[in-house]
C-alpha cells in the first residue's frame, strides 16, 4: 500500500495553510501585554506574542555548511506543561519560553517575550544536535556527536549577563569520547521511571544505564548484546544496533528495553530496572499475582521454573511486595532495590517473528522485515492494551506491528553476571552478556515457557519520500501527547501524521468487531518545495492542552518556527459511519461528486493551441484567411462546443439524481435543525439545573463554614496509641479501683463485727485459760489484717493520685487541642 498525500491535516477549529503556500502557516501577530511570569525576567515587561512570530526565531540565522553530514537534529523540547525549550546553536544558550494555549483564540499558542536565557557553567566543545528533557522537567540532555552533557535547570544557579548559569555535567566521556573516539553513541534517552537514569546504546553493541546521582562516568548497568547464537552465522547488518526504546506502562513492558538492529529485527531485554526507580504499587502487584496464578500452576516444569525466577526477582527487587501483598496493603508506589541473579543473566529475546491475520505461523521460515533498505529509527508506544512497534527504514517505509502476546522475563542460566559491591556489600553495578536463546515456537500455546512474543502486522506505510540512493532518508518518529493512536513522522520531506485504526487487544476490550483497517497517513507539513541540500526540520515538538487541543511546532533549517493546529475530535471515527443511511433510500449505487459529474468535465475543456500564422496580415476574404478562420472554427468546435454539449447532456441526464440528492440533503438539514431546537430547549433546562446546583453548592459552603466555627470542631483526634492508653486507664478506673474499694470495705466490716462481738466480754474461767493460747493467734491475725489494710490503703491512695494525675494530663491535652 502506497500513500503519497501532500494535503495538510485539517483542524476542527480553523483551516490550515497548505504546504505549497507560504511557509508562514499561522495567523498574523496578535500581541498582548501581561504581567511578568516566573519563567521570564522580572525586571522586563513581558509581551505575549504568537509563538511562530517570536523574536528568537525571527532574529536567528542559519549556520549550515555544504559539508554538513546529514543527521537527526531536534533543538526543541517540551516539559509537558507550559514551557518550551529551544537551543540556540549560534549563542550556545538555552531559551525557556512560557506558553499560553487557547488565548485569545482556541487555536492560538502565545509565547512570552523575552525568554529566560540559560547557559552552561562550562564551555561546550561540541555542536549540540538534540535536546531532551526528563519526565519532571528538572534536567535537560544536550546530545552531540562529540559529547553528552546534562544541564540541571533548577537548583544552585547564578545570574550572569541577564542569563542563568546552570550546572552542567559530562556523562560517559571516558567511554564514548576519549582520545580514540572509536565508540559512537547511537541513541541516548531518559528512563521513563527515573529522573536520574540515562540509557545509552553505542556502536559496540552495548546498552548502558547511567545513574547521574551516583556516578557520571561509571555505568550502573551494562548489557553486552549477542544477537547471534553460538555456532551460527548471520550477516553483518543483523549484529549492528541502530536504535532502542524503553517500554511503557503495561505489565512487563515497563521493565523492558526494545532494541532495533539495522536489518529490521527487534530484540527485547527483560527485566531491566534502574536502581532506585519508582513504580506504581498496582502495576507491580498485577504482574506478581499473574506469575503466582498462571506461572506456578502451569503444566510445564519449565514454565514453573521461569515463574519462580520471576517471583524471586520481584520479591528481591521490591522487598515490601510480598509482605504488603499478603497483608492486603495499598501503598501508592514501590521503590526498586539493587538486585541481580547471581547465576543467570538476562536473555536477549528475539528476533521477534511475524504472525498474520487468519494464517498459521510458519515455523520453518523466520521473517524479520518486508521493507526495503536498512532500519533507521524505532518507536514503542503503549496504546491501552496494545504494545505498538513502529520501525522506519531508509527507503521511506514504515513497518507497524503490535505484540501478539505478553512479554515475560527470561534469563540464561549458567551465564553469571559481573557484580560490583560497596563496603556494605550492596550492589552498585551490574555487567552481563545477553545471549539470544533458541527461538523455537511452542505449539501448545502455554505461557511462561520463555518464548519471545510474536508480532502482529498492522500495516506498512510508504511515505513516498524523494529518493536518496546513497545515504537514504533520515526519519524520526514522535508520539502524539493527546491521541495515542497518532504518530508523527519527521523526515527530509516534512511531517506526516499516521493514525492507527485497528488495534487487536484494544478493539477486543471495547467490544469492537471491526475488520482490519490499514493505518492512514496524511502530509501535515511539506518542505520539498524549497530546493536545498538541507530541507529537513531541525526541531519538532507536539503540544497539547487540558481542553483536548493539540499542535505541532516545527523549526525549519532557516530557523523559522511553524505552528499547526491538529484535528483531534473526529480523528478516530469509523469510516463507514451512517453506512445504511446514504443519500435517498439507497437507490444510488455510489455517492460523491465523481459519480455526478465525470472527471473529464471537471478538468474543463482542452487548451486550444492557436495554429501558427505568417507574420504578414491576411485578408479575411482571401483563400488563406478563409483557411485560417476554418481552422479556428474547427478547433473551437472540437473543444468548446463539444465540451458544452457534454456538460449539457451530463446535467440533463443527472438532473433527477441531483434533485433527489438535494431533497435528501434538505431533509437531513431539517432533521438537524429539529435536533438543534431540542438541544436548545434542553440547554435552558440544563442552565436552570446548573444554577440550582450552584446555589445548593453555595448553601453547602455556608453550612460548612458554620460547622467549622463550632467549638471543639478543630480538636485533633487521638492517635492509636493514645486511644489504647485511655482505654487502659478507663479499665483500671472501672474495674481494679472498684475491686480495691470493695476489699477495703469488706475488711473494715469484718473488723467492726469482731470488735463489737459480745462473746469477747463474758468472764469465763475456762475460756480465759483456753483463750490465752487462742488470743495470741487472734492477735497475730488482727495485726496481719491491720497491716494488710494499711498496705491496701497506701496502694489505694497511690492509685488515686495516679488516676487524678492522668485525668489532669488528659484534660490539659484536650484543652490544648
pLDDT of 213 strictly over 60: yes
Which among 79, 77, 437 is positioned nearest to 228, based on CA atoms?
A: 437
Calpha distance 347→269 (Å, rounded): 7
* Average pLDDT along the chain: 79
* Residues 384 and 358: beta-carbon distance below 8 Å: no
User: What is the average per-residue pLDDT within 183-208?
Assistant: 94
Query: Tens digit of pLDDT for each residue in 557-616?
Result: 888 899 999 877 666 655 444 434 444 444 444 444 445 566 666 666 665 555 555 556
Tens digits of residue pLDDT in 480-496 = 999 999 999 998 888 99
CA dihedral for 355, 356, 357, 360, sign (positive or negative): negative
Which is more confident, 359 or 196?
196
More confident residue, 62 or 299: 299
pLDDT given at position 14:
34
Residue-level pLDDT at 548: 84
Q: Rounded to the nearest 5 degrees, what angle is found at the Cα of 747, between the Cα atoms of 743 and 748?
A: 115
Greater pLDDT, 634 or 469 = 634
What is the secondary structure of 643-700 as a DSSP string? Answer: HHHHHHHHHHHTHHHHHHHHHHHHHHHHHHHHHHHHHHHHHHHHHHHHHHHHHHHHHH
DSSP string, 186-246: EEEEE-TT-SSEEEEEETTSEEEEEETTT-SSS-SEEEEEE-S-TT----GGGG-EEEEEE
Radius of gyration in angstroms for the set of CA atoms belonging to the chain, rounded to a whole number: 41
The larger pLDDT score, comparing residue 757 to residue 383, is at 383
Task: Label residue 762 by pLDDT band (50, 70, 90).
Answer: low
Q: Using the predicted structure, report yes or no on whether residue 440 has a pLDDT greater than 70.
A: no
What does the pLDDT read at residue 384? 87
Give the pairing type, strands 76-78 and 221-226.
unpaired
Say what the pLDDT of residue 154 is.
Answer: 81
Say whether pLDDT at 28 is over 60: no
Residue 263, pLDDT above cutoff 60: yes
238-252, 581-595, 619-633: the lowest-pLDDT one: 581-595
pLDDT of the residue at 5: 35
Least confidently predicted of 42-46, 115-119, 801-805: 42-46
Alpha carbon distance 284, 779 (integer Å): 78
What pLDDT does residue 612 have?
A: 53
Which pLDDT score is estimated for 715?
67
Question: Tell me, what's the pLDDT at 501?
Answer: 87
Q: Which of 219-233, 339-353, 615-629 has the lowest mean pLDDT?
A: 615-629
Alpha-carbon gap, residue 663 to 669, rounded angstroms: 10
Q: Is the pLDDT of residue 178 over 60?
A: yes
Residues 314-333 have pLDDT tens digits of 999 999 888 887 777 778 88
pLDDT for 65 beyond 50: no
The pLDDT value recorded for residue 77 is: 96
Phi then psi for residue 81, to 5 deg, are: -125, -95
Amino acid at each position: 500500500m502506497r500513500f503519497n498525500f501532500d494535503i495538510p491535516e485539517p483542524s476542527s477549529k480553523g483551516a490550515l495553510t497548505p504546504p505549497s503556500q507560504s511557509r508562514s502557516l499561522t495567523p498574523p501577530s496578535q500581541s498582548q501585554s501581561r504581567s511578568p511570569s516566573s519563567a521570564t525576567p522580572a525586571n522586563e515587561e513581558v509581551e505575549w506574542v504568537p509563538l511562530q512570530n517570536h523574536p528568537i526565531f525571527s532574529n536567528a540565522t542559519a549556520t549550515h555548511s555544504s559539508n554538513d553530514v546529514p543527521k537527526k537534529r531536534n533543538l526543541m523540547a517540551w516539559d509537558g506543561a507550559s514551557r518550551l525549550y529551544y537551543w540556540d546553536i549560534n549563542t550556545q544558550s538555552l531559551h525557556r519560553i512560557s506558553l499560553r494555549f487557547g488565548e485569545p483564540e482556541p487555536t492560538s499558542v502565545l509565547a512570552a517575550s523575552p525568554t529566560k536565557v540559560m547557559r552552561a557553567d562550562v564551555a561546550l566543545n561540541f555542536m549540540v544536535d538534540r535536546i531532551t528533557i526528563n519526565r519532571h522537567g528538572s534536567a535537560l540532555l544536550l546530545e552531540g556527536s562529540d559529547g553528552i552533557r546534562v544541564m540541571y535547570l533548577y537548583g544552585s544557579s547564578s545570574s550572569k549577563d541577564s542569563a542563568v548559569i546552570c550546572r552542567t555535567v559530562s556523562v560517559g566521556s571516558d567511554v564514548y569520547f576519549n582520545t580514540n573516539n572509536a565508540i559512537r553513541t547511537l541513541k541516548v534517552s531518559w528512563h521513563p521511571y527515573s529522573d536520574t537514569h540515562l540509557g545509552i546504546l553505542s556502536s559496540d553493541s552495548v546498552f548502558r544505564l547511567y545513574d547521574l546521582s551516583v556516578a557520571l562516568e561509571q555505568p550502573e548497568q551494562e548489557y553486552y548484546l549477542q544477537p547471534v547464537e553460538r555456532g551460527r552465522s548471520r550477516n553483518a547488518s543483523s549484529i549492528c544496533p541502530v536504535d532502542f526504546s524503553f517500554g511503557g506502562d503495561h505489565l512487563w513492558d515497563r521493565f523492558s528495553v526494545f532494541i532495533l538492529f539495522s536489518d529490521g529485527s527487534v530484540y527485547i531485554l527483560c527485566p531491566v530496572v534502574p536502581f532506585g526507580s519508582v513504580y506504581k504499587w498496582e502495576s507491580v502487584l498485577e504482574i506478581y499475582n499473574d506469575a503466582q496464578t498462571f506461572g506456578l500452576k502451569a503444566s510445564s516444569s519449565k514454565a514453573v521454573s521461569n515463574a519462580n525466577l520471576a517471583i524471586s526477582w520481584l520479591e528481591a527487587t521490591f522487598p515490601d511486595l510480598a509482605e504488603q501483598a499478603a497483608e492486603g496493603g495499598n501503598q501508592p508506589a514501590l521503590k526498586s532495590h539493587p538486585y541481580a541473579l547471581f547465576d543467570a543473566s538476562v536473555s536477549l529475546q528475539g528476533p521477534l517473528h511475524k504472525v498474520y491475520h487468519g494464517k498459521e505461523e510458519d515455523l520453518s521460515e523466520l521473517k524479520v522485515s518486508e521493507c526495503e533498505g536498512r532500519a533507521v529509527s524505532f518507536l514503542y508506544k503503549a496504546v491501552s492494551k496494545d504494545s505498538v512497534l513502529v520501525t522506519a527504514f531508509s527507503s521511506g517505509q514504515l513497518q507497524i506491528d503490535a505484540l501478539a502476546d505478553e512479554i515475560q522475563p527470561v534469563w540464561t542460566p549458567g551465564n553469571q553476571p559481573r557484580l560490583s559491591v560497596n563496603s556494605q556489600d550492596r550492589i552498585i553495578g551490574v555487567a552481563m552478556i545477553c545471549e539470544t536463546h533458541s527461538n523455537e515456537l511452542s505449539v501448545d500455546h502455554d505461557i511462561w515457557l520463555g518464548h519471545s512474543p510474536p508480532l502482529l502486522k498492522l500495516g506498512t506505510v510508504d511515505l513516498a519520500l524523494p529518493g536518496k540512493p546513497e545515504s537514504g532518508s533520515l526519519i524520526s518518529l514522535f508520539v502524539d501527547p493527546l491521541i495515542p493512536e497518532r504518530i508523527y513522522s519527521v523526515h527530509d520531506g516534512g511531517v506526516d501524521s499516521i493514525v492507527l485504526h485497528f488495534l487487536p487487544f484494544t478493539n477486543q476490550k471495547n467490544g469492537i468487531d471491526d475488520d482490519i483497517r490499514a493505518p492512514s497517513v496524511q502530509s501535515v507539513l511539506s518542505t520539498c518545495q524549497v530546493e536545498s541540500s538541507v530541507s529537513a526540520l531541525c526541531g519538532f515538538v507536539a503540544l497539547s492542552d487540558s481542553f483536548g487541543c493539540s499542535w505541532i511546532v516545527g523549526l525549519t533549517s532557516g530557523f523559522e518556527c511553524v505552528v499547526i493546529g491538529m484535528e483531534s475530535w473526529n480523528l478516530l471515527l469509523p469510516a463507514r459511519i451512517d453506512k445504511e443511511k446514504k443519500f435517498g433510500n439507497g437507490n444510488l449505487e455510489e455517492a460523491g461528486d465523481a459519480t455526478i459529474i465525470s472527471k473529464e468535465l471537471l478538468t474543463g475543456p482542452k487548451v486550444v493551441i492557436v495554429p501558427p500564422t505568417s507574420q504578414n496580415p491576411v485578408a479575411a476574404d482571401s483563400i488563406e484567411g478563409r483557411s485560417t478562420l476554418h481552422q479556428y472554427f474547427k478547433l473551437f468546435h472540437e473543444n468548446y462546443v463539444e465540451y458544452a454539449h457534454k456538460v449539457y447532456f451530463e446535467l440533463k441526464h443527472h438532473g433527477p439524481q441531483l434533485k433527489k440528492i438535494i431533497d435528501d440533503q434538505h431533509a437531513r438539514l431539517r432533521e438537524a435543525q429539529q435536533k438543534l431546537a431540542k438541544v436548545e430547549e434542553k440547554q435552558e433546562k440544563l442552565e436552570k439545573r446548573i444554577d440550582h446546583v450552584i446555589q445548593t453548592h453555595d448553601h453547602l459552603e455556608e453550612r460548612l463554614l458554620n460547622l467549622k466555627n463550632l467549638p471543639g470542631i478543630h480538636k485533633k483526634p487521638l492517635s492509636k496509641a493514645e486511644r489504647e492508653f485511655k482505654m487502659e486507664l478507663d479499665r483500671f478506673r472501672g474495674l481494679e479501683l472498684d475491686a480495691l474499694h470493695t476489699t477495703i470495705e469488706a475488711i473494715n466490716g469484718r473488723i467492726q463485727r469482731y470488735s463489737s462481738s459480745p462473746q469477747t466480754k463474758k468472764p469465763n474461767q475456762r475460756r480465759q485459760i483456753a483463750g490465752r493460747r487462742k488470743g495470741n493467734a487472734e492477735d497475730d491475725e488482727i495485726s496481719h489484717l491491720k497491716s494488710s489494710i494499711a498496705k491496701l490503703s497506701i496502694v489505694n491512695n497511690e492509685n488515686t493520685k495516679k488516676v487524678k494525675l492522668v485525668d489532669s494530663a488528659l484534660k490539659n491535652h484536650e484543652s490544648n487541642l
